[in-house]
Structure 1
Amino acid sequence: MDLSPVAEDYLKAIYHLEDEYQRPIRTTEISEELDVTSPTVTSMLDSLAERELVDYTPYQGVELTDCGEEIVLKLIRNHRLLETFLMEHLDYSWSTVHDEADRLEHHVSDEFTQRLATFLGEPAMDPHGDPIPDSDLVIPEETPYTALTEYESGETVTVEQVPHRDPDIRDYLSQHRIGPGTRLVVDEVLSIDLVTVVPSSTETPVALPTHVARRIGARAVTK
């Protein structure tokens, strides 16, 4: 199906918002996610609904159809394989690779994607710790990692998965040298929605809002 990159970005936004909220998505939420006006969102949703990529009822919300979800899973597969290649072979950092893959994901063929997967050894995870859909577009529903908020003060963990779609969160973590592979000691879990951690590389406490710490996946370090 011939879709513009802009239309594909709308489908991706709906997919991620559905995953976050577990309900039909409001036009205002898509507007905030993509930084566009509500009338622009409504116009695009009408177009996507005509192509049977979304189920859209004004004032009730929008959901992806099976066809719309298939398009998104192909984009996610493209994106995460590209991120893996860019980091492993072109020395991109985990904090900069997302935007580059965002630009490229719309412009590669299915054949290229499969050749890339074969070249990379069919990786199951991307550099941020997110699962890569397989060639049948099957993606695990549960992460193998434990959220940072589930650990107690004094525990040592290794970061395996980081949130990276939000540039502000991505930059904050990068500035404090927290990324995949970072070893942390959980310092304090505060009642004011903060988790304080100490990266082993800096030994300087870093405060993380709970909503960010909840999206950091980690494994306990066994002593």
Structure 2
Amino acid sequence: MDLSPIAEDYLTVIYHLENEHERPVRTAEIGDEIGVTAPSVTSMLDNLDEEGLVDYTPYEGVELTEEGELVVRRLIRNHRLLETFLTDHLGYDWTDVHEEADRLEHYVSDELARRLSAFLGDPATDSHGDPIPNADLTMPEETPYTPLSEREVGETVVIEQVPHRDPDVREFLSDAGIGPGTNVTIDDVPPVDLLTVELTSETRTVTLPVRVARRIGTRSIENRSVLD
């Protein structure tokens, strides 16, 4: 089945929104994410429904079919392998690879993905800590990272997974000096929706909104050293 890049983008957006909200996705949510009008969304969903890639019911929402999810998993595999290649071998910063991979993911064949994965050592996760689907498109079991927001004051942890789809959050974390591999110590949890951490390598503190800290995966230093 030959799909256009924009059709694949629709499927990917539906996948992420469906997983985020755990319910059928509304057309308005898709339009907001992609930046198109409601009639454009409806037209595309009708086409994807005819192809058997989504189940779309007007006024009720849309869900991916099993076939539609396989298309997205292939794109996710391509995307995350590309991100890892760009950071590990072309010197890209982790904050800069998402859009590059978005553009390239549509043009990676299964054979190229296989070779790229082998070249990278068949990584289990990408440069943001997200799992990379296997060659058979099964999603590996996610590492049980503990959200930064659930850590106790005085704990020192390493950042293993960061949210990266939101450019504003990405920029905030980058400016704060927080990214994959950063060691931080929980400094304070004020009685508001904020969390203060100390960057171990720089001996300075950063205050994060709890809503962001919830999306940052961490591992205790002791556990990380054992696994490494």
TM (norm. structure 1) is 0.96
After TM superposition, give the deviation of residue 143 of structure 1 in Å: 3.3
Identity of aligned residues (%): 64
Trace 1:165-204 onto structure 2 (pairs within 5 A): 165-204=165-204
Structure 2 residue aligned with 1:164? 164
After TM superposition, give the deviation of residue 32 of structure 1 in Å: 1.6
Structure 1 residue aligned with 2:220? 220
After TM superposition, give the deviation of residue 56 of structure 1 in Å: 0.4
Q: Matches of 1:124 and 1:142 in 2, distance apart?
A: 9
For the 8 Å contact 2:131–2:142, the answer to whether it is kept is no
Q: Which runs of 5+ in 2 are unaligned?
A: 224-228
Q: Which runs of 5+ in 1 are unaligned?
A: none
Structure 2 residue aligned with 1:12? 12
Residue by residue over 1:100-144, the C-alpha shift from the partner in whole angstroms, topping out at 9 and shown as x without a partner, is 111110111111111111111111010100000001111135432
Residue by residue over 1:158-217, the C-alpha shift from the partner in whole angstroms, topping out at 9 and shown as x without a partner, is 000000011000011011110000011112223322112121233332221222111100
**How many corresponding residue pairs?**
223
Q: Matches of 1:21 and 1:148 in 2, distance apart?
A: 21
Q: Matches of 1:6 and 1:74 in 2, distance apart?
A: 15
1:94 correspondence with 2:84: no
State the AA in 2 paired with 1:217: G
After TM superposition, give the deviation of residue 152 of structure 1 in Å: 1.0
Q: Matches of 1:202 and 1:35 in 2, distance apart?
A: 40
Q: Matches of 2:90 and 2:113 in 1, distance apart?
A: 17
Q: Matches of 2:156 and 2:205 in 1, distance apart?
A: 14
Instruction: Summarize the Cα distance change of 1:119–1:142 in structure 2 as closer, same or farther, 3 Å threshold.
Output: closer
Q: Matches of 2:8 and 2:150 in 1, distance apart?
A: 35
TM (norm. structure 2) is 0.94
Stretch moving more, 4-13 or 206-215:
206-215
Stretch moving more, 139-148 or 34-43:
139-148
SS state of the match for residue 204, structure 2?
coil
Stretch moving more, 197-206 or 15-24:
197-206
1:155 correspondence with 2:155: yes
